[in-house]
Amino acid sequence: MNPSVAQPVTAPAADPLDTLEQALQAERQALLSHDVDALLDSTQAKLRALRLVESQPLRGNDPARVSALSELNRANSILLARRRREVNWALRHLGRVESTGVYDAGGQSGARPQVRCLGVG
């Protein structure tokens, strides 16, 4: 090996829990800033990180950290539910969806689109 040739530095693999935490923080920021594209990207990153975390054994302090990340995920889900209610409220007031937007026993949406004229032509 020639010592004058720089060898590429291989970065250590990121800790899966760090990756998951970053994805959860990105998801939270996307929810707070109403950034749909960032929300979709962060959700995909979160799912990839979760698969990686699940594929490896927990070490030392990992169980406590997993609990903390679970709480962050729960807080994000509460924020997401709030955003969904806001969107449903806006759609309902625009006459785009009935107020009963629930799924029936067969998994079909109970919401039926309504046609409402929003202006005079």
Please, are residues 45 and 23 in contact by the beta-carbon 8 Å criterion? Answer: yes
Tell me phi and psi for residue 103, to 5 degrees.
Answer: -95, 145
pLDDT at 53 over 70: yes
pLDDT in tens, 86-105: 988 888 888 876 555 566 66
User: What residue spans define the domains of the chain?
Assistant: 16-78
pLDDT in tens, 25-51: 999 999 999 999 999 999 999 999 999
Identity of residue 19? T
pLDDT at 114 over 70: no
Please, are residues 95 and 111 in contact by the beta-carbon 8 Å criterion? Answer: no
DSSP 8-48: PPPPPPPPHHHHHHHHHHHHHHHHHTT-HHHHHHHHHHHHH
